[in-house]
Each structure stands twice: as C-alpha cells, then as structure tokens.
Amino acid sequence: MKHQICFLLAGIALITGIGPASASAGSLGAEVREAAAELDTALDAYHTAYPEIGFVRLRGEADITRLVAITTALGAGARNVDYEHPDGAREALREAQVERIVGMLGAGLPSATLFRRGPNGSANEAFTCIITLDERVFLGDRLAATRLLGSGREFAESAELDNRAFLRLTLDHEVFHCLDAYSNGSTHPQTYSQLAACYHDFRVEQRADLYAALAHRVRSPESDQLIPNLARFRTLAILDWDIAHYTAPVLWSVLVTDMAPLAHLGTAELANRAMQIADELVVSEETYRTLAAAVIDVLLEQGVAGVMFTEVFGELSELGIEADPSQVARLSTAIAAAQSHLSEIRVTRAGEGA
C-alpha cells in the first residue's frame, strides 16, 4: 500500500501550518478565548447533526495525555476509517495514525482523523473524529494566516487573510474530512501506485476546501476576499510541489455558485450537498494524471530541482502520459496572475506585524 503526501513530504509544514512557535506569539487573551469558544460551539453543532460521531479538538503537545485517554477508550479492535486496510494491518495503522496526530500536535498543524470504536470500547460514540487545531497559532500575530499560506513569501496588504475567518474555515475543512469518511467510507483506497495515492490525497483536499468555502459563504453572504485570496494562495501551492492543495478551480466555482438554495440548509444537509457538488466538480483520476504531468512541467520551467526523481514522474513516464502544452500554459498563467495580485505591496515579516 502507498499512503504518502504528494509530491514533497516536507511541504506539508509549509502549506498546512506554521509550527508551534507562533502559538506563543500572543497571550491567551479575550480574542483567543472567544475563538476557542466559537470553535467548540461549532463542534457541538456538528455533533448534534452527527450524533454517532464524537468530535474532539486537541490544541498542542499538552493534549497528548488526553489523546492517549481518547484512543484507549476506543478499545481493542478500533479501526481508522480514513484509510482502507486489511484486518491484519488494523493495529499498525491505528498506531501510525496516533503517532501522526502526536506529530501534528508538536508541529502545530491542523489535521483530522476518524476512528471507529472497537467492540468493547468505552467511548460514548461509535466514531471519534480527532482534530488538531490550535487557535493560538492563528491569533498571536495579525498576519499568521497570510504567512501560513504564503510559505514565507511576501504579499500585498490586500492579500491579508482574516485570522478568525480562516480559523473557522480550517475547522470546517478538517471536520469535513471526517464527515466524508463517515458518509462514504475510506477516502484513501489501498494502492501500490504512488500516482493513485496522490490522486486520492488531491481528491479529499478538493472536497474539504469546497465544503469549507460553501460553509463560509453561508455564514458570510456579503462578498469578502477570503475565498478569492485563498484560491490564489492555493494556486501558488503548486510551486511548493503541493498539488494536493491546488484547490483553486473548485474555490472559484464556489464563488459563482447560487447560494440561495443552500442558505437555509442544516449542517448535515449542507455537507451532503457539498459532497454532491464535489462529485460533479472534482476531476477524475485519469484527468488528474494529465494535471500532474503539467504541474511537473511547470515546476521544471520554474527551476525546481529534483522533481524528475519523484516516483510520480516515473509512473507518468511508464504510462506514456505527457504534459499538454496548453494546460502547462494555463497553469503558468494562473500562477503569474496569483503572484501579481498577491504581491503588489510588501507585507511585514514575522515579528513586524501589529
């Protein structure tokens, strides 16, 4: 089986989080307490909509003891739901997922993992969704969310993301990973193909961003720049070899979606509708292969070293799949447009912001 991050394992730290150091940037003041209460209230609403799932949010390494208690309560025979696996790999995958959660807590990174309780487990719900998300990482610095997505680049002041809005969007994104696996079964099928594993990484990120963007638009019907700028930042994820988070096409689609039929849907209804829309919008595995080939060509044009040695490149070559020059040109144009829009005025570096 292949369960790997595509294309660059280390890239997740650049794309998904900014690390634990930022959590100490601000004291646990009123805004942080308000943000924590907002997130916990949102998780209560998700639990009401999905009573079979217990939602747990862990904030940092101090919560590792709590993680141990939660996973112990799952009992013998508990399963990870995210990844398809044979019975013989059940315990090994469960342990690996717990280790992954510990790593996410140590690095201050958002994540979501869904477990099914074992036959003799003592957990209250049949399923447990463990989310790592620390509001302090986002609220200690005015530009935290902007730097998170910007991977250390400098951007225009107009590109600044609202930390609170992005924090809630991140929660919805992570929760949806659990809802997707709960509703549809394992989101990462077993495979010996690195290319196929990469596609499933790509697919789940598209679906989660689509849902989170729809939920944001329901909460904030007035136009704002969060989703447009998120789409631009997700376009630049390509330059970090992070094709999984190249969700710009679905985000732009959300911006032209008629929200009137969605505005009054309940939590579960909105999630189900997002799944239906995602089924229509997210590209097939076959189409993904041509996208991956085009991304590799774009990276080579950008002078990104080492990309030719990835297993994905080897599989594409074996399949005889070559980049479509017109698709390469469209991606290059989209990257240039995102860079131009986001880079008009310098944003201060860490420690310089208010």
**For residues 213 and 172, what is the distance between their CA atoms, to the nearest angstrom?**
9
Average pLDDT over residues 171-179: 98
pLDDT, tens digit, 9 for 90 and up, residues 209-251: 999 999 999 999 887 889 999 999 999 999 888 999 999 999 9
Q: Does the pLDDT of residue 307 top 80, yes or no?
A: no
Distant-in-sequence, close-in-space partners of 256: CB < 8 Å, separation ≥ 6: none
Q: Which residues pair with 308 in a beta bridge?
A: none
Checking 22-30 for CB contacts under 8 A at 24+ apart, the result is: 22/108, 22/136, 22/137, 22/140, 22/141, 22/144, 22/350, 23/60, 23/108, 23/134, 23/136, 23/137, 23/140, 24/136, 24/140, 25/136, 25/140, 25/141, 25/144, 26/136, 26/139, 26/140, 26/141, 28/136
- pTM (predicted TM-score): 0.89
Nearest to 313 by CA among 324, 321, 302, 304: 321
Nearest to 241 by CA among 300, 161, 290: 300
pLDDT, tens digit, 9 for 90 and up, residues 89-124: 899 999 999 999 999 999 989 999 999 999 999 999
pLDDT, tens digit, 9 for 90 and up, residues 16-52: 444 444 444 444 588 889 999 999 999 999 999 999 9
pLDDT of residue 6: 57
**CB 246: neighbour CB atoms within 10 A?**
22
Domain residue spans of the chain: 11-17+26-342
Query: Cα 185 to chain center, whole Å?
Result: 18
pLDDT, tens digit, 9 for 90 and up, residues 329-349: 999 999 999 998 888 534 434
3-state class of 80 per DSSP?
Answer: strand
Location of structure tokens 């090994």 = 92
pLDDT, tens digit, 9 for 90 and up, residues 259-281: 999 999 999 999 999 999 999 99
State the DSSP H helix or E strand holding residue 131, giving kind and residue range, or none if neither: strand 127-132
3-state class of 266 per DSSP?
Answer: coil
Q: Does the pLDDT of residue 179 top 90, yes or no?
A: yes
Q: Does the pLDDT of residue 352 top 90, yes or no?
A: no
pLDDT of residue 345: 36
pLDDT of residue 148: 81
**For residues 212 and 173, what is the distance between their CA atoms, to the nearest angstrom?**
5
Average pLDDT over residues 183-188: 94
**For residues 204 and 148, what is the distance between their CA atoms, to the nearest angstrom?**
20
Identity (one letter) of the amino acid at 33?
Answer: R
Q: Which residues pair with 127 in a beta bridge?
A: 53, 116
pLDDT, tens digit, 9 for 90 and up, residues 64-76: 999 999 999 999 9
Indicate the pLDDT class of residue 309, thresholds 50, 70 and 90.
low
**For residues 55 and 191, what is the distance between their CA atoms, to the nearest angstrom?**
29
Nearest to 230 by CA among 149, 176, 125: 149
Question: Cα-flanking dihedrals φ and ψ of residue 124, to 5°?
Answer: -65, -35
